[in-house]
Structure 1
Amino acid sequence: MNNLFNFAKNSFMKNAFVLILSLFLMANVSSVQAQVKLKLGHINTNELMKVMPGRDSAEKALQDYSKSLEDQLAMMNKEFQDKYEYYLAHEAEFLAPVKDAKQKELVDMQSRIEDFKTTAQDELAKKETELVQPLIDRAKKAIDDVAVEKGYNYIFDTGTGAVIYYQDSDDIMPLVKAKLGIQ
């Protein structure tokens, strides 16, 4: 009976020891997890874009394209101005049908010039995107790569005030909506 009591006592002690050790280890693991440092970084992407390789050639190409559009607009304005001055100089000599045709021509030219301005602005914006987007993509990839390699959780852009890199994390939107009673 004494042997059985010792076995039970030893078995109880072993189980208690394992239980206490397990609790101790879990508490330490939780403590270590709680102490994991959140690693934050920042970068000014505006400054980065100023020194990006290829930026100068993209900027030059955009300036050249813009200049060609401006030259085309200047030619259209000159043509309009010449026709308008001719019309004013000879208005009294024109018969009514010719006068009406000249006025319509001038109005049509003005309309084409305004359309060209709008189209040129759109085309210039497209060209800028076409030239700059590859630079932005390269910068974004480099930022992401550095963040992953160096173990950053978040990278903030000090130039725009935005978070430009973040690790997967919990989206707390449903919890906040529930707290506010929003469906």
Structure 2
Amino acid sequence: MKQLKTLLIAAVAFLGTTQAMNAQAKVAHVDVSEIMQKMPAMLDAQKQLEKLSSTYDTEYKTMVDEFQAKVKKYEQESTTVTEQVNEERSKEVQDMQKRIVDYRDNAQKELQKKEADLVKPIMDKIKASIQKVGKAKGFQYVLNAADLLVADGPNITADVKKDLGFQ
């Protein structure tokens, strides 16, 4: 009787362990940053952003140079003009300074907006590809390798890049 009880407990334990092993989710990982760095659409988006940034930088530098030249000129002439002219010039310099700061802030906002507009469709495409490849390979979860401390297991990065049409 005691042996039967022990055998029954062992059988239940064995079945429980087998069920736990079968219930484990299939997990893979993918390196999203590697895909983004090598994806042609992302490279094109980066070039567009660099060009726009360069345009903003050039305009900003022109405004700053003009501002500095005016300040220098006004400082040199400050002793030879009336107090009223100096006050008007001071106000003009403050207005220029405000325009420069506003321009810089707006340029940064525009760059961020443009980046979001360019990157969102690319990220959506990558996400859809990851889901497609993961589902086709039978994975229940696909994790970003950058978020993992240990990425030991199936890596579907190459499969996703192939699905997206590049290596």
- For structure 1, the residue ranges without an aligned partner over 5 or more in a row are 1-27, 162-183
Between 1 and 2, higher relative CO (CA 8 Å, sep ≥ 6) is seen in: 2
Deviations 1:12-64 (A, max 9, x none): xxxxxxxxxxxxxxxx9xx7697244210001111111111212211111000
- Once residues 131 and 102 of structure 1 are traced to their aligned partners in structure 2, the CA distance between those partners, rounded to angstroms, is 43
Q: Give me the identity figure in percent.
A: 32
Asked if 1:49 is matched to 2:36, the reply is yes
Displacement, 1:103? 0.4
Displacement, 1:134? 1.6
Q: Which residue, 92, 98, 105 being the options, matches 1:105?
A: 92
Equivalences, count: 133
Aligned CA-pair RMSD: 1.9
Asked if 1:124 is matched to 2:111, the reply is yes
- Once residues 123 and 47 of structure 2 are traced to their aligned partners in structure 1, the CA distance between those partners, rounded to angstroms, is 17
Deviations 1:61-116 (A, max 9, x none): 10000000101101110110111011011010111111100000001111111111
Q: Higher Cα Rg: structure 1 or 2?
A: 1
Deviations 1:131-150 (A, max 9, x none): 22221111111001111212
TM-score by length of structure 1 reads 0.67
The corresponding residue for 2:74 is 87
Paired amino acid for 1:132:
V
3-state SS in 2 of match to 1:105: helix
Displacement, 1:129? 1.0
- Once residues 22 and 47 of structure 2 are traced to their aligned partners in structure 1, the CA distance between those partners, rounded to angstroms, is 51
- Once residues 30 and 23 of structure 2 are traced to their aligned partners in structure 1, the CA distance between those partners, rounded to angstroms, is 23
- Large movers: runs of 4+ above 3 Å: 31-34
- Once residues 74 and 156 of structure 1 are traced to their aligned partners in structure 2, the CA distance between those partners, rounded to angstroms, is 44
- For structure 2, the residue ranges without an aligned partner over 5 or more in a row are 1-14, 149-167
Closer, same or farther: CA 90–131 of 1 in aligned 2, 3 Å: same
Closer, same or farther: CA 125–160 of 1 in aligned 2, 3 Å: farther
- Once residues 48 and 147 of structure 2 are traced to their aligned partners in structure 1, the CA distance between those partners, rounded to angstroms, is 26
The corresponding residue for 1:136 is 123
Q: Which moved more, 1:149-158 or 1:99-108?
A: 149-158
Q: Which moved more, 1:100-109 or 1:128-137?
A: 128-137
Asked if 1:64 is matched to 2:64, the reply is no
TM-score by length of structure 2 reads 0.73
3-state SS in 1 of match to 2:147: coil
Paired amino acid for 2:112:
A
- Once residues 116 and 90 of structure 2 are traced to their aligned partners in structure 1, the CA distance between those partners, rounded to angstroms, is 39
The corresponding residue for 1:115 is 102
Paired amino acid for 2:81:
F
Displacement, 1:160? 3.5
